[in-house]
Amino acid sequence: MTQKGSTGLSTVLIIFAVALVGGFLLWLYRSSAALEETTPVMLEADVGEVVDLVLLSQDPSASVGRVADIDSVAVVQTLGRGVFLVGLTSANEASPFPVLLSPDLIARYTQVYGGDVVWLYGHIYSLNDSIRSQWVELGAVNEADAEAIPQGTSFLLADSLELK
């Protein structure tokens, strides 16, 4: 038992712990400041050739992994809250091409309707059966319209959309 006025081992340990935490916070602050100064700004990787409506119409599967900037394309059909089809015209026929809205566009309640003319910017990705089923499960495509998703091999993830 300690007497009044005497300093025990617990007081020394408390002071040591506070000094240790303070030292750690100082080291953490200096490390983060140095990290901010030395970290270079990362720009988007070289995207190469940007795909337009003509290139995408010729061979949609060859455009996978590239950036698309598509101006004045007509919306053929809306399949749900986050997916719609645009009309690509090839030499043989008009074929629907799926467009998935980015989460930002969905959060802003972006809506398009059949017959709208839009400008789209985004990335082209591969499309398979598991992606199609995820669209339905997550509510981007209405269950009633699930069969209308084209069996093509690619889709556009639209980062930007503007009604014309």
pLDDT one digit per residue (tens) for the chain, 164 residues: 556 655 678 888 999 999 999 999 999 988 887 766 655 555 555 556 788 888 888 888 888 889 999 988 999 999 999 999 998 875 545 689 999 999 999 889 889 998 899 999 999 999 999 999 999 999 899 999 989 898 888 999 999 999 98
**Domain residue spans of the chain:** 1-42, 53-163
State the architecture of 53-163 in CATH terms. Beta Barrel (2.40)
Distance CA 83, CA 139 (A): 10
E strands, 11-163, in order: 67-78, 83-89, 94-101, 117-126, 154-163
Tokens 């091409």 correspond to 97
Evaluate whether 73 touches 144 at the Cβ level (below 8 Å): no
Q: Which of 97, 108, 115, 89 is nearest to 161 (CA)?
A: 108
- Hey, what are 143's tokens? 């269950």
Torsion of CA 40, 45, 46, 48, to 10 degrees: 180
